[in-house]
């Protein structure tokens, strides 16, 4: 059962060559058009979140903590400088988590946009990569304005400070990409997204050394921080924002943990999508 000339001609004429090279970019294009459709929310969030954090931690809790720590501050810097880079990481993680969870459910189950993509020359790894890149862009639209506000607030003192945005994005991806893999396993929404946000994202935010040093927690709670991408990214962001006394090897550990989590998450996400889209 062969018809080699027909096959050869069809392969030659196949217009999918560009898709093989640029498939992930086309998915990104699609997702960016969607992001544009809710641009007002994006702008409001980008400006509102850091201003609220500035007010709360600069004038509210921050004033109280600062009064307690005196001129020594925390980690050798004023409390506002200590907390804002980590808060930026927390915001990035929350934005990425929302987009990861709901974007994946939309793609596979709710609007089935990934199913539509799969009927074209696009491969599953291209769909996964394009989607991850789109969430990266979406999260950057929240993290970059945040960093600008942090800079205006005077909380950046190192020339490496812009790298704190990269740390925030990497940390968000280290949690958010594995979350995409989990979301791809949800066949019926029975409240799993709410559970994840209440019992995983919120505790991570509270126990990852974002608002206080991890060492102040009792030993039996400190492990949450060590396992948390948010702690690793917050420490990296602080190192970039004002420099820390952490040894270089620990900075490399932070980076390594985050990179491994992103890579493992992407691999599991591709597997999950294959299971759902190629039946």
Partner 1 sequence: MPDTAAPVIRAHRLRKAYGETVAVDDVSFEVAPGEAFGLLGPNGAGKSTTMRMLGGVAARSGGELEILGMDPDRHGPEVRAQLGVVPQLDNLDTELNVRDNLVVYGRYFGIRRAEVARRVDALLAFAQLEEKARSRIDDLSGGMKRRLTIARALVNEPRILLLDEPTTGLDPQARHILWDRLFRLKEQGTTLVLTTHYMDEAEQLCDRLVVVDQGRIMAEGAPAALIREHSTREVLEVRFGSERNAEVAAELDDLGERVEALPDRVLVYAEDGEHVLAEVVRRGHRPITSLVRRSSLEDVFLRLTGRSLVE
Min dist. Cβ of residue 152 to partner 1 (A): 33
Tell me the C-alpha to C-alpha distance, in Å, between residue 262 and each of 132, 179, 239, 266, 267: 10, 10, 21, 6, 9
Asked if 232 and 174 count as a contact pair (C-beta separation under 8 A), the reply is yes
* Interface positions with partner 1 (CB under 8 A): 1-11, 13-20, 22-23, 26-27, 29-30, 33-34, 37-38, 111-113, 115-123, 277-279
Looking at beta carbons only, is 33 or 198 nearer to partner 1? 33
Question: Would you state the structure tokens that stand for residue 92, as one six-digit string?
Answer: 């990035």
Place of tokens 């019926």: 188
Which residues make Cβ contacts (< 8 Å) with residue 128, sequence separation at least 6?
180, 266, 269, 270, 273
Min dist. Cβ of residue 170 to partner 1 (A): 28
Looking at beta carbons only, is 106 or 251 nearer to partner 1? 106
Q: What is the spatial distance between Cα 32 and Cα 273, in angstroms, rounded to a whole number?
A: 21
Question: Would you state the structure tokens that stand for residue 178, as one six-digit string?
Answer: 């594995």
Question: Would you state the structure tokens that stand for residue 38, as one six-digit string?
Answer: 């809710």
Place of tokens 């954090």: 53
Looking at beta carbons only, is 78 or 107 nearer to partner 1? 107
Looking at beta carbons only, is 128 or 258 nearer to partner 1? 128
Looking at beta carbons only, is 11 or 198 nearer to partner 1? 11
Min dist. Cβ of residue 121 to partner 1 (A): 4
Torsion of CA 96, 101, 105, 110, to 10 degrees: -80
Nearest of 226, 223, 233, 240 to residue 258 by alpha carbon: 233
Looking at beta carbons only, is 12 or 72 nearer to partner 1? 12
Asked if 92 and 143 count as a contact pair (C-beta separation under 8 A), the reply is yes
Min dist. Cβ of residue 257 to partner 1 (A): 35
Min dist. Cβ of residue 144 to partner 1 (A): 23
Min dist. Cβ of residue 186 to partner 1 (A): 18
């Amino acid at each position: 059962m062969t018809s080699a000339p027909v096959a050869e001609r069809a392969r030659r004429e196949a217009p999918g060559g560009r898709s093989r090279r640029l498939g992930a970019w086309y998915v990104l294009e699609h997702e960016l058009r969607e992001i544009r459709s809710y641009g007002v929310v994006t702008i409001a969030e980008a400006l509102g979140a850091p201003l609220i954090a500035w007010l709360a931690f600069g004038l509210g809790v921050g004033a109280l903590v600062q009064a307690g720590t005196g001129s020594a501050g925390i980690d050798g810097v004023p409390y506002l400088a200590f907390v804002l880079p980590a808060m930026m990481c927390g915001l990035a993680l929350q934005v990425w988590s929302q987009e990861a969870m709901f974007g994946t459910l939309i793609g596979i189950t709710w609007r089935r946009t990934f199913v539509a993509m799969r009927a074209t020359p696009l491969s599953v790894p291209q769909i996964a990569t394009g989607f991850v890149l789109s969430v990266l862009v979406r999260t950057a639209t929240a993290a970059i304005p945040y960093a600008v506000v942090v800079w205006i607030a005077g909380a950046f003192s190192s020339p490496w400070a812009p790298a704190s945005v990269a740390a925030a994005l990497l940390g968000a991806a280290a949690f958010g990409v594995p979350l995409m893999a989990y979301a791809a396993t949800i066949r019926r929404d029975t409240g799993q997204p709410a559970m994840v946000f209440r019992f995983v994202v919120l505790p991570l935010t509270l126990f990852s050394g974002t608002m206080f040093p991890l060492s102040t927690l009792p030993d039996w709670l400190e492990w949450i921080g060590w396992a948390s991408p948010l702690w690793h990214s917050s420490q990296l962001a602080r190192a970039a924002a004002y420099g820390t006394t952490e040894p270089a090897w620990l900075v490399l550990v932070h980076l390594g943990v985050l990179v491994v989590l992103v890579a493992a998450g992407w691999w599991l996400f591709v597997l999950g999508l294959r299971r759902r889209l190629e039946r």
